[in-house]
Amino acid sequence: RNSSCLVLSFLLFILCLWLVSVGSERQRKACQEDWLLNESNCYEIHDADPSNQKTWEEARANCSGYNADFVIVHSQEEKIMLSENHESGYWIGLRVENGRWKWIDGSDLAVDFWIGTPFDGQCAVSVQGVGWRSVSCADRKRWTCKKKALCV
């Protein structure tokens, strides 16, 4: 009877070790390979050379292929993270709809970060350390995809 308890205790110990290792492995893999973890989100920064840059629609379709979308900036932290990681001209999830700047989730632009007056284009790009610039949606730019982390 004691040997049965000892074997059962040992098996439970092994099971606990396995569960801990699986949990820590999942935590390390909150994002896919080459995606950056920030807070509870994963980001894929597409630093495409000029020949592989995409229009706003093409880049958004690329993000969709990863079950992701463009970045929507609703916090100061995300605005800072974007401005630190984007050299120049990365698409963000902001564009003109019915004459008003809106995020792709349908929310209105509440706080802006414009470089000058945004009247040049219908879509927005993030520029490192400076802010956002309005440009034509047909321009070819780099882009960043965002999605929720698997677990953190």
The answer to whether residue 3 scores a pLDDT higher than 70 is no
Q: Three-state DSSP class for 143?
A: strand
What secondary structure letter does DSSP report for 135? E
Q: How high is the mean pLDDT of the chain?
A: 79
For residues 128 and 45, the answer to whether their CB atoms sit within 8 Å is: no
pLDDT interval class at 123 (50, 70, 90): very high
The answer to whether residue 27 scores a pLDDT higher than 90 is no
Identify the residue with better confidence: 5 or 119. Answer: 119
φ/ψ of residue 123, rounded to 5: -130, 165
- Per-domain residue ranges of the chain: 1-30, 33-148
pLDDT interval class at 24 (50, 70, 90): very low
For residues 140 and 53, the answer to whether their CB atoms sit within 8 Å is: yes
φ/ψ of residue 148, rounded to 5: -65, 140
Identify the residue with better confidence: 17 or 68. Answer: 68
pLDDT interval class at 12 (50, 70, 90): low
Could you tell me which CATH number the domain at 33-148 has? Answer: 3.10.100.10
pLDDT (average), residues 54-66:
96
E-state strands within the chain: 36-38, 41-46, 69-70, 90-97, 100-103, 123-127, 131-135, 142-148
